[in-house]
């Protein structure tokens, strides 16, 4: 028998993934609960008619599959993914049916790719990365682990994005640019040059702030 599914994340993205699951009978029928992290739901017990649990309330569930449904700070993504694995969880990918996904792309474990994205040949996406709606990733680009693309991003060919990077909505990365680990790219930025580790850049052209 297949494991129950837990969606762990912020209420907005968790609810979106849950709604998209309704078209996937296998996943829909295995859904167990939400583990919602944001403050608005910290005192709530239900979300869209389903129970909201904390990690501590999952002790009775020995094995389960989980979808990591929040963007943002990469170290938090890494920490929570490890906690869920330690509690017996097995990550599953969620790739929306509208995604144009090349058979020659490599997708890591626990990756979430939301609607209307395009993933070109030769792309490598690391474990537990979130690709939000309307992103285009060009050929031979590399996206690291625990990274978040927050929507409507254009990642051109041969770009290299490190681990735990946050790329704000509407940002564009020029071909062959390298973005180091733990960098932040501001919303709407256009990045033409290398971004160093732990840097934050913003603007068009993007500059360190």
Q: pLDDT by residue (tens digit) across 118-167?
A: 999 999 999 999 999 999 999 999 999 999 999 999 999 999 999 999 99
pLDDT band, very low/low/confident/very high, at 41 (cuts 50, 70, 90): low
| Nearby residues of 96 by Cβ (< 8 Å), 6 or more positions away | 20, 113, 114, 115, 116, 117
pLDDT band, very low/low/confident/very high, at 43 (cuts 50, 70, 90): low
Residue of 117, 112, 160, 113 lying closest to 136 (CA atoms):
117
**Domain 94-199, second-level architecture:** 3 Solenoid (2.160)
How crowded is the C-beta side of 100, counted as CA atoms within 13 Å? 11
On the question of pLDDT at 39 being above 80, the answer is no
* CATH class of the 5-92 domain in this structure: alpha beta
pLDDT of residue 81: 93
Q: Report whether 121 contacts 142 (CB < 8 A).
A: no
Distance, in Å, from the CA atom of 118 to the CA atom of 72, rounded to the nearest integer, reads: 21
pLDDT of residue 40: 56
With a pLDDT cut of 70, the percent of the chain lying above it is 96
pLDDT of residue 150: 96
pLDDT of residue 152: 98
Q: How far, rounded to the nearest angstrom, does the alpha carbon of residue 111 sit from its chain's CA centroid?
A: 6
Q: Name the more confident of 26 and 43.
A: 26
Q: Is the peptide bond before 205 cis (omega within 30 degrees of 0)?
A: yes
Rg (the chain; Cα; Å): 17
Which residue intervals of the chain bear CATH 3.40.50.20?
5-92
pLDDT of residue 2: 85
pLDDT band, very low/low/confident/very high, at 48 (cuts 50, 70, 90): confident
On the question of pLDDT at 170 being above 60, the answer is yes
| Nearby residues of 138 by Cβ (< 8 Å), 6 or more positions away | 120, 123, 154, 155, 156, 157, 158, 159, 175
| Nearby residues of 54 by Cβ (< 8 Å), 6 or more positions away | 35
pLDDT of residue 46: 80
pLDDT of residue 184: 97
Which residue intervals of the chain bear CATH 2.160.10.10?
94-199
Q: How far, rounded to the nearest angstrom, does the alpha carbon of residue 58 sit from its chain's CA centroid?
A: 22
- Tokens 């944001």 locate to 38
């Amino acid at each position: 028998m297949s494991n129950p599914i837990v969606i762990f994340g912020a209420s907005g993205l968790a609810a979106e993934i849950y709604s998209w699951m309704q078209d996937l009978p296998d996943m829909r029928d295995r859904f167990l609960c939400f583990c919602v992290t944001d403050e608005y739901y910290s005192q709530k017990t239900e979300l869209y008619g389903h129970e909201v649990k904390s990690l501590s309330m999952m002790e009775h569930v020995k094995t389960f599959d989980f979808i990591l449904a929040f963007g943002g700070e990469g170290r938090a993504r890494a920490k929570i993914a490890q906690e869920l694995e330690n509690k017996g969880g097995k990550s599953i990918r969620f790739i929306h049916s509208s995604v144009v996904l090349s058979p020659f792309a490599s997708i890591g474990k626990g990756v979430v790719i939301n609607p209307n994205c395009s993933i070109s040949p030769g792309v490598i996406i690391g474990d537990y990365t979130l690709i939000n709606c309307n992103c285009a990733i060009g050929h031979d680009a590399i996206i690291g682990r625990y990274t978040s693309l927050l929507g409507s991003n254009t990642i051109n060919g041969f770009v290299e994005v490190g681990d735990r990077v946050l790329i704000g909505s509407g940002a564009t990365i020029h071909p062959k640019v390298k973005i180091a680990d733990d960098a932040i790219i501001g919303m709407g930025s256009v990045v033409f040059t290398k971004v160093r580790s732990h840097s934050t850049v913003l603007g068009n052209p993007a500059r360190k702030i």
